[in-house]
Structure 1
Amino acid sequence: MDGDWPVGEVGDFLRSRRARIQPEEVGLPGHGRRRVPGLRREEVAQLAGVSVDYYVRLEQGRGTSVSDAVLDAIARVLRLDETEQTYLRAVARPGRQRPGRRRPETRRVRPGVQILLDTMERSAAFVLGPRMDVLAWNALGDAVNGFSRLAPAERSMPRQVFLDPAGRDHYPEWHAVAAQTVAHLRVNAGRYADDPELCALVGELSLKSEDFRRLWADHEVRECAYGVKKIRHPVAGLLTLPYETLTIPASPDQTIVVYTPEPGSETAERLALLGSWESSSTR
């Protein structure tokens, strides 16, 4: 996995999307025995208005000059959402230069961003890089996740989820968090396909974690823009943490993640106590 994603990635992705669509859903007869789940390649080609040979070459990674119109037609047939369409373009045309397909530039967080994090005294906040590595945090973010106690290489959300033995205790809903982590990492895999460190991370996780291998093979592609995450903290107990993510316009490779507990909720009270406890312990 050095330097780029495998040529077969586009084929694996399209096959996984074909398997989700039943013939009856697109007006095709579904009776009789079928050799593969979902739609056949011939059926996708017919519905998209392209030749079978052309579609086969695309699945084989030989359609690098495919047009937007053809990819749009295939996306319509396979019912891809916006994130999946963006990913399809990235893996279908790996040699084409385009905005976004580049190596991440830096792991540095601007001082102004750190000041912004530090002003969020009631929220746990941190910055993620394109490899979902943790680049910076505020005091409450550190209190919740313990970033400062980790070696730099271990400050990685995927490594915490899949390689840290304590990960399953930290996240009571571990299976949902694991699937979400992989789906978001795959988004970045398409966006930064030339990043050797990201390729190496996927290789490491695939080698060391059977759960990661299984989820990666599902080819789910999903941004983690917002949601709710549950964390079991050794001091504060169970925390229910709605979160929002904000891309930094001047550093689009970096994303601020902010846990925003409901005002007056039990989690908000526990976070306030945790913040007070952390402040007193550092004096």
Structure 2
Amino acid sequence: MAPLVAFLLSLNLLELIHGASGVTIISSDKDVEVNEFDKATLPCEYVLERGTQARLEWKRIAGEHISFVYFGEQIVEKYRERATMLGHSIELQRVTRADTATYRCEVTAKQDVKIFAEISFKLVVLVPPATPTCKVPSSAMSGSTVELVCKESEGSPPSVYTWYKDNVVLMDVSAKASTANNVSYTLNRSAGTLRFNPVRKSNSGTYYCEAHNKVGRSERCSLKFMQIKSRSAKSNAATRTNTPPAGEDFKHTKSFVI
């Protein structure tokens, strides 16, 4: 048993010695944010346990789509005109919103105990929002459900939205709070929706919206007026079926002589 115990102890000792050994990336994995058309540097510095040879690859990940940026010791053709290797790091020139994605540096060192290491960066190209479009019905009947929509697709990161009624900002109100405070709307700033359930005559007015993100604020959309009409008693009565009063006998209006 003594040789076996000695062997196990030696394995434990080797594990302690080499537990942190192998190829190691020493760069920070913080996200990178740059303004559109500026340059972005994605750092990837590493140290090897043994030797000086390692295989380096850079990949771009957007959703389920993965493509190479650096492979086979060269920048792939798509990026050659605007990408430069700075040691093991990569610098992208004139970035656009289309470059927003996750970029992963992968290092393989076959001579090391731990032969593989990787680091990922989320590159966010900052773009101010465009002037949004706002969809506001010109009229609606009181008591119905009405939804106003504000949307723009240029901003990066994605915009949040602010709605105004008669030049007064509408504050966030959750569905629960709207019921408790007798407020007839709920506002979703991320989706840009302003929902009235039910809409009331007092909700008539001029509406517009703005989009904003960490880069800036958009121009407001065109002003739209929404008129809420009351349901009249006459229109309600027209929807009901007339029936004779209960207990009233049917009366002939004509006599027939045989």
Larger helix percent: 1
More strand by share: 2
Instruction: State the structure with more CA Rg.
Output: 2
TM-score interval, smaller chain: under 0.3
Using CA pairs below 8 Å that are at least 6 residues apart, which structure has the higher relative contact order? 1
